[in-house]
């Protein structure tokens, strides 16, 4: 288990010497990162090979996901290997501060929650010695990088993440497969990323496919015409994995996206069939005995018809292939938002993947025959979620309340027909990245108290409960202050804004979406600002409101909300009347690495979606684990957070699912606006020139108060929940003044966070869905 750090240092030096002819101290952070990464890859190769060659277990699981939001790998890999501190020390002795690698950009092959969840799951499976491999796509450009212009508008830039190389993967050209489309055939070339477990020798694999042309250039082409045509073929192939779709929560029916999904599906299944045949021969009827595949939402759902097609091509009949597929697949749903459910027009599907659409039609005929009332295809549109429930063993939601909504509402008819298929798997987060790595100070404090390596058994955090006393609270408060000081430095450097660590840090970090209600947060801040100015709010502890969020580039309203918040921030931060009380910061380019700085510094965690809209949330868990109290609704995993940590230790507000459902039919947002003068005044700042106004803000204003042709006014109930939100927010603010009582709440949350380790989640998938057991070489 022990790695020789001196060797890694020597190999890093050698690598730098022969590649760049520089010394450790002369190397740029990028050169150092590549050399160190290469050295670590050498150091782990033996364990990786042994893990791969482990005797074929009874059943292995495969995670199929279009997104892996991995973050920065260098620190987490060293951390999981147990050598981060020692390597830092060794480099420091050579005059090199490994903190310089903070400049290395994230591996951001995902949008938000769904992508980050797959990364947490891989970490947990490797750490728990569970045989889980990941399959995904190696996008040339990951999630765009975000800046704000002088108007406060989001500006996107391409994320060329491999520009300085990618030391954390190996290209395995010998395992290249071909994927066929009617008009061309492409190569899917695998890149293998090691998934290094924590506190184990086990190293799993994430295999990412990159599309390339079958023949780079046709060298028989001798005239210019042919030369350009050959290049066209190359571009057409590479286009498929050129870019991650930056769309979160709204679905678009795009040809290129079908191609991406099909490449992920077909390449991964061909790869699995190759390995199966090597181990078990040509009889494919036992495929499902050895393989379980988890579909991360419906993005890889074409794997279902593709497996059936591949099995039939090997001589199986349709019914038998169907039955193998059904035993192999399970599907996780990540959203109840109708606009995010994938529905492909059949003619579009047929033009890109004709054989796949034929098989989907056969599956549709079968279900209509055997289960009248249910369908896969309706009005020539294929519903991928329906397909995934029908040809699968289990379907699960990602928090208790979400799984209940799936049964009661979204997939009601399916639940009636197949009740045993419905499960819940409440999400989790890896405590290694989201505590050990990002908050070593708090980790140390906890381990001084409860001892041992609780990061492998997060349930042990509950041992803290009887130990919470004044002294521990003081120690916790000191750590929190330290993390705020550190964050202040990062924000000064990245945003050019000076913050005071004695302020309350109230944090909302997540993708920008109307349903997440960043606008509700903003309106309450504007209200508080006016109250502070007119002197009606006196009992207020100085607070910085921190936002971090990317908007889908085409999501006009979300972008208008970003602009509005930036304008609010500018007004407030430049007003000397409130300067010692209020700050608003919208950080640019919120990503995993930024999260690792923000989350440990947060006092208050804003989780404010209307009940019934956020499937789970995972940021809420990260913030809880780092000792923030939740200011939230009874939605997603918030429900389970307060069940674990107690209502009294959090700030819960707003209508419940039942109350919203009851209010729906007679909801009149303008009535609330007319009778709440302070809210009225806050909403008016969208349009009255208090901050610069624009057409998109006017549109936001009308969407709130008048509705549109497609949605009623205030579709996400900002006004309904407003007063209850503001009161909870102000109560949390007042409570903060009692540093003992507030710190106690924070510690109660930490001590109750054990359930939210993704180790717990992955064990539940392993036992209740995949039926796999831990194996170790």
Task: Name which position in 136, 431, 612, 617 contacts ligand 26W (CB under 6 A).
Answer: 617
The label of the residue with tokens 């033996």 reads: 46
Is there binding between residue 233 and ligand 26W (CB under 6 A)?
A: no
Contacts of 128 (CB under 8 A, 6+ apart): 197, 759, 762, 763, 766, 774
Please indicate whether residue 88 is annotated as part of the active site: no
Quote the least distance from Cβ 372 to ligand 26W, whole Å. 30
Is there binding between residue 608 and ligand 26W (CB under 6 A)?
A: no
> Each residue of 281-291: b (16+ CB within 10 Å) or e?
eeebeebbebb
The label of the residue with tokens 């099995």 reads: 311
Name the segment binding ligand 26W (CB under 6 A); options: 113-121, 150-158, 434-442, 582-590: 113-121
Name the segment binding ligand 26W (CB under 6 A); options: 75-83, 111-119, 455-463, 690-698: 111-119
Quote the least distance from Cβ 761 to ligand 26W, whole Å. 10
In terms of CB distance, is 13 or 635 closer to ligand 26W?
Answer: 635
Task: Name which position in 124, 154, 249, 543 contacts ligand 26W (CB under 6 A).
Answer: 249
Task: Name which position in 340, 348, 537, 693 contacts ligand 26W (CB under 6 A).
Answer: 340
Distance CA 557, CA 561 (A): 6
Is there binding between residue 428 and ligand 26W (CB under 6 A)?
A: no
Task: Name which position in 604, 615, 672, 682 contacts ligand 26W (CB under 6 A).
Answer: 615
In terms of CB distance, is 113 or 131 closer to ligand 26W?
Answer: 113
Is there binding between residue 118 and ligand 26W (CB under 6 A)?
A: no
Distance CA 389, CA 421 (A): 8
Please indicate whether residue 483 is annotated as part of the active site: no
Contacts of 226 (CB under 8 A, 6+ apart): 218, 220
Is there binding between residue 142 and ligand 26W (CB under 6 A)?
A: no
In terms of CB distance, is 294 or 697 closer to ligand 26W?
Answer: 294
Exactly one of 33, 309, 483, 511 is catalytic; name it: 511
Is there binding between residue 302 and ligand 26W (CB under 6 A)?
A: no
Q: How many CA atoms lie within 13 A of 398 on its CB side?
A: 27
Task: Name which position in 169, 335, 543, 589 contacts ligand 26W (CB under 6 A).
Answer: 335
Is there binding between residue 509 and ligand 26W (CB under 6 A)?
A: no
Distance CA 645, CA 625 (A): 11
Name the segment binding ligand 26W (CB under 6 A); options: 246-254, 378-386, 404-412, 455-463: 246-254
In terms of CB distance, is 398 or 683 closer to ligand 26W?
Answer: 398
Q: Are 125 and 132 in contact (CB under 8 A)?
A: yes
Is there binding between residue 427 and ligand 26W (CB under 6 A)?
A: yes
What does the block give as tokens for 428? 């989790």
Quote the least distance from Cβ 563 to ligand 26W, whole Å. 23
Restricted to residues 387-406, the positions that interact with ligand 26W (CB under 6 A) are: 398
Is there binding between residue 581 and ligand 26W (CB under 6 A)?
A: no
What does the block give as tokens for 249? 């929560």
Exactly one of 145, 510, 517, 729 is catalytic; name it: 510
Restricted to residues 341-360, the positions that interact with ligand 26W (CB under 6 A) are: 342
> Each residue of 292-312: b (16+ CB within 10 Å) or e?
bbbbbbbbbbbbbbbbbbbbb
Quote the least distance from Cβ 645 to ligand 26W, whole Å. 18
Distance CA 395, CA 330 (A): 6
Quote the least distance from Cβ 79 to ligand 26W, whole Å. 23
Is there binding between residue 246 and ligand 26W (CB under 6 A)?
A: no
Number of chain residues interacting with ligand 26W (CB under 6 A): 22
Is there binding between residue 114 and ligand 26W (CB under 6 A)?
A: yes
Name the segment binding ligand 26W (CB under 6 A); options: 243-251, 519-527, 684-692, 740-748: 243-251
Please indicate whether residue 511 is annotated as part of the active site: yes
What does the block give as tokens for 233? 């073929």
What does the block give as tokens for 553? 């580039």
Query: What is the Cα Rg of the chain in Å?
Result: 26
Task: Name which position in 31, 107, 248, 721 contacts ligand 26W (CB under 6 A).
Answer: 248
Q: Convert residues 189-228 into a mask of x (bound to ligand 26W by CB under 6 A) and - (unbound).
A: ----------------------------------------
Is there binding between residue 117 and ligand 26W (CB under 6 A)?
A: yes
Please indicate whether residue 55 is annotated as part of the active site: no
Distance CA 771, CA 776 (A): 17
Quote the least distance from Cβ 236 to ligand 26W, whole Å. 23
In terms of CB distance, is 254 or 412 closer to ligand 26W?
Answer: 254
Distance CA 294, CA 388 (A): 10
Please indicate whether residue 622 is annotated as part of the active site: yes
DSSP 3-state of 222: coil
466 φ/ψ angles, rounded to the nearest 5 degrees? -70, -5
Cα 385 from chain centre: 20
Is there binding between residue 113 and ligand 26W (CB under 6 A)?
A: yes
Sheet holding 381-383, edge to edge: 343-345, 381-383, 377-378
Name the segment binding ligand 26W (CB under 6 A); options: 233-241, 333-341, 666-674, 700-708: 333-341
Quote the least distance from Cβ 425 to ligand 26W, whole Å. 9
- The DSSP call for residue 610 is P
Give the number of residues written for the chain: 777
Q: Are 116 and 110 in contact (CB under 8 A)?
A: yes
> Each residue of 49-65: b (16+ CB within 10 Å) or e?
eebeeeeeeebbbbbbb
Quote the least distance from Cβ 772 to ligand 26W, whole Å. 21
DSSP 3-state of 180: strand
- The DSSP call for residue 243 is B
Task: Name which position in 247, 424, 447, 486 contacts ligand 26W (CB under 6 A).
Answer: 247
Distance CA 504, CA 481 (A): 10
Q: How is 728-767 classified by DSSP, letter by letter? A: HHHHHHHHHTSHHHHHHHHHHHHHTGGGGBHHHHHHHHII
Please indicate whether residue 28 is annotated as part of the active site: no
Exactly one of 33, 72, 334, 383 is catalytic; name it: 334
Distance CA 629, CA 498 (A): 24
What does the block give as tokens for 125? 């499976």
Residues near ligand 26W (CB under 6 A) are: 111-114, 117, 247-249, 251, 297, 334-335, 340, 342, 398, 427, 614-618, 636
- The catalytic site residues sit at 334, 510-511, 516, 618, 622
């Amino acid at each position: 288990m022990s790695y020789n750090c001196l060797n890694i240092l020597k190999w890093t030096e050698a690598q730098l010497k022969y590649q760049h002819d520089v010394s450790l101290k002369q190397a740029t952070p990028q050169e150092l990162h590549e050399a160190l990464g290469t050295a670590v890859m050498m150091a782990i190769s033996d364990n990786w090979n042994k893990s791969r060659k482990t005797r074929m277990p009874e059943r292995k699981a495969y995670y199929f996901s279009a997104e892996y939001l991995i973050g920065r790998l260098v620190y987490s890999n060293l951390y999981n290997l147990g050598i981060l501190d020692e390597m830092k020390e060794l480099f420091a002795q050579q005059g090199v501060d490994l903190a310089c690698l903070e400049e290395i950009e994230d591996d951001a092959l995902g949008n938000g929650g769904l992508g980050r969840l797959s990364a947490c799951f891989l970490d947990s499976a490797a750490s728990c010695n569970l045989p889980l491999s990941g399959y995904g796509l190696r996008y040339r450009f990951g999630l765009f990088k975000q800046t704000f212009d002088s108007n406060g508008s989001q500006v996107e830039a391409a994320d060329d993440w491999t520009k300085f190389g990618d030391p954390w993967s190996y290209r395995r050209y010998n395992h290249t497969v071909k994927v066929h489309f009617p008009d061309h055939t492409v190569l899917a070339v695998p890149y293998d990323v090691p998934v290094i477990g924590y506190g184990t020798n086990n190293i799993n694999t994430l295999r990412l496919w990159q599309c390339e042309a079958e023949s780079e250039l046709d060298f028989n082409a001798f005239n210019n015409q042919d030369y350009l045509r050959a290049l066209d073929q190359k571009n057409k192939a590479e286009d498929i994995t050129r870019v991650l779709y930056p769309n979160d929560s709204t679905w678009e029916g795009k040809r290129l996206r079908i191609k991406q999904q099909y490449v992920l599906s077909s390449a991964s299944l061909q790869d699995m069939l190759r390995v199966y045949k090597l181990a078990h021969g040509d009889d494919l009827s036992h495929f499902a005995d050895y393989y379980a595949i988890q579909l991360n939402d419906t993005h890889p759902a074409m794997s279902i018809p593709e497996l059936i097609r591949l099995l039939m091509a090997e001589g199986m009949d349709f019914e038998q292939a169907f039955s193998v597929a059904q035993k192999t697949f399970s599907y996780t749903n990540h959203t109840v938002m109708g606009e995010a459910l994938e529905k492909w027009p059949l003619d579009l599907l047929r033009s890109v993947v004709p054989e796949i659409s034929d098989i989907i039609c056969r599956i549709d005929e079968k279900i209509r025959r055997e289960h009248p009332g249910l369908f896969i295809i309706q009005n020539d549109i294929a519903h991928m979620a329906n397909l995934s429930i029908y040809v699968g063993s289990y379907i699960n939601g990602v928090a208790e309340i979400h799984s209940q909504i799936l049964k009661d509402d979204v997939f009601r008819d399916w639940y009636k027909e197949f009740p045993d298929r419905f499960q819940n798997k409440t999400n989790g987060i890896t405590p290694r990245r989201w505590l050990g790595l990002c908050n070593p100070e708090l980790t140390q404090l906890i381990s001084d108290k409860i001892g041992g390596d609780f990061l492998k058994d997060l349930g042990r955090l509950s041992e803290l409960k009887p130990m919470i006393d004044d002294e521990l609270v003081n120690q916790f408060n000191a750590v929190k202050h330290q993390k705020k000081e550190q964050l202040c430095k990062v924000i000064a450097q990245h945003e050019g804004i000076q913050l005071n660590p004695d302020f309350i840090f109230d944090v909302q970090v997540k993708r920008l979406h109307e349903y997440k209600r960043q606008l509700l947060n903003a309106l309450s801040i504007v209200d508080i600002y006016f109250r502070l100015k007119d002197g009606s709010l006196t009992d207020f502890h100085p607070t910085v409101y921190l936002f971090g969020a990317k908007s889908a580039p085409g999501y006009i309203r979300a972008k208008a909300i970003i602009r509005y918040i930036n304008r609010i921030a500018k007004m407030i931060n430049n007003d000397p009347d409130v300067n010692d009380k209020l700050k608003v910061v919208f950080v640019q380019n919120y990503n995993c690495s930024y999260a690792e700085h923000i989350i440990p510094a947060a006092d208050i965690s804003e989780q404010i979606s209307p009940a019934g809209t956020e499937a789970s949330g995972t940021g809420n868990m990260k913030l809880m684990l780092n000792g923030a109290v939740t200011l939230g609704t009874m939605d997603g995993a918030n429900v389970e957070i307060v069940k674990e940590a107690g209502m009294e230790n959090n700030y819960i507000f707003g209508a419940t699912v039942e109350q919203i459902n009851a209010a729906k039919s007679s909801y009149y947002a303008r009535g609330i606006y007319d009778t709440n003068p302070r809210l009225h005044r806050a909403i008016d700042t969208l349009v009255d020139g208090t901050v610069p106004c624009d057409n998109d803000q006017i549109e936001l204003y009308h969407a709130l108060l008048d509705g549109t042709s497609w949605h009623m006014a205030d579709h996400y109930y900002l006004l309904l929940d407003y007063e209850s939100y503001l009161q909870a927010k102000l109560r949390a603010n007042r409570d903060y003044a009692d540093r003992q009582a507030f710190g106690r709440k924070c510690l109660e949350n930490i001590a109750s966070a054990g359930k939210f380790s993704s180790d717990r989640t992955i064990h539940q998938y392993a036992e209740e869905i995949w039926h796999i057991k831990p194996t170790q070489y």
